Amino acid sequence: MPISVAVAGASGYAGGELLRLLSAHPEFDVVTVTAHSNAGQPLIAHQPHLRSLAHLTLQETTPEVLAGHDVVFLALPHGASGAISATLPAETLVVDAGADHRLTDPGDWADYYGGEYFGAWTYGMPELVLADGSKQREAIVGARRIAVPGCNVTAITLGLAPAVRAGLIEPRDLVSVLAVGPSGAGKSLRTDLLASELLGSAHAYGVGGVHRHNPEIRQNLMAAGAEAVSISFTPVLVPMARGILATNTATLASGASLADVRAAFEEAYGDEQFLHVLPEGVTPRTADTVGANTCLVALAADVRANRLVTVSAIDNLVKGTAGAAIQSANIALGLPESAGLSTDGVAP
């Protein structure tokens, strides 16, 4: 029997990507889609590329509409999913692609988001290597409440965690600069996201440690074994619809070599189907991850500066959001982890 699915926030970019992937999933059956201001309109009017789901109409995002499904995916703004999810049955698998349930520290939530804190759910980053050498995947098995990581968080965490866990870098001296596509900002009408403002330009935002993904990155790297983490991370909006390219640097620990780092990454990711460590001298392109649930990672050492440099590339809407949500749902339900997901990108 197919697994019944509802997607809340289905008219947005994250919701649309969830639906695109779910439409090809061998076990999931999307029966309900919801929205806020667009409720009552055909889904196809807002996601015209999803022809196979043209029969669906956007409904109101209410607990009553979302109840009764086996799986509910929430693609809502932060602060919107906490109250709704609290009303859903405990046996329903609820996967939140928003921020409401990612942070374990209420103080971090108050500092970076504000408003009511709804508590932390099982964290949906299966490949996150933990301090004891296990993976976060083990915690996802059988879970019924899953928080999907932030997209910038995914690119940075996966590009640094194995080196942190192996003690090969100084976690108090981390720097990351990211080139980010504007789809991560959602569909809301903003002047800085207009084509006439964005094309032919690049600009930094969230400068000076104020980006809301900061505490989540620190939380992950501490789970990987760091006693404390200090990271300066700056995202830069660039004119590509989707994708994140994160260039991460850290001071190498005393005696650590690039060979040691590569061994740690191969140990962490060698058996992972969606994490690919690139050969020496090869750096990733975001174009090679478009539409795929993959993270490509390159490793290098800046010997003059005694710094490790890792470059990680993801599709922010797939591995950074919808793909991670479906991958985690598959694990929670005991399905093949790759069901409905691809390692192949779209080119050119």
**Sequence spans of domains, the chain:** 3-149+319-333, 152-316
Which of 8, 97, 151, 256 does the annotation list as catalytic?
151
| pLDDT for 196 | 87
Over residues 1-28, mean pLDDT:
97
DSSP H/E element including 103: none
| pLDDT for 198 | 87
Over residues 118-126, mean pLDDT:
97
As a whole number of Å, the end-to-end CA separation of the chain is 38
| pLDDT for 159 | 98
Edge-to-edge strand list for the sheet holding 28-35: 58-60, 28-35, 3-8, 71-74, 93-96, 145-147, 122-123
Q: With contact defined as beta carbons under 8 Å apart, do 24 and 50 qualify?
A: no
Nearest to 65 by CA among 88, 95, 93: 88
Q: Is the pLDDT of residue 70 over 90?
A: yes
| pLDDT for 64 | 95
The CATH number of 152-316 is which of 3.30.360.10, 3.30.930.10, 3.40.630.40, 3.20.20.140? 3.30.360.10
| pLDDT for 1 | 83
Q: Is the pLDDT of residue 104 over 90?
A: yes
Residue whose token pair is 């693609």: 75
Global pTM reads 0.97
Bond before 26 cis per omega within 30 degrees: no
DSSP H/E element including 95: strand 93-96
3-state secondary structure of 236: strand
| pLDDT for 187 | 85
Q: How confident is the model at residue 229 (pLDDT cuts 50, 70, 90)?
A: very high
- Active-site residue, 151 included: yes
Taking the C-alpha atoms of residue 71 and residue 30, their distance in angstroms, rounded to an integer, is: 9
Q: Is the pLDDT of residue 194 over 90?
A: no
Q: How confident is the model at residue 297 (pLDDT cuts 50, 70, 90)?
A: very high
The domain defined by 3-149+319-333 folds into Rossmann fold (3.40.50)
Q: How confident is the model at residue 340 (pLDDT cuts 50, 70, 90)?
A: very high
Q: Which class for 90: exposed (0-12), middle (13-18), buried (19 or more C-beta within 10 A)?
A: exposed
| pLDDT for 26 | 97
Over residues 235-260, mean pLDDT:
97
| pLDDT for 312 | 98
Over residues 268-291, mean pLDDT:
98
| pLDDT for 195 | 86
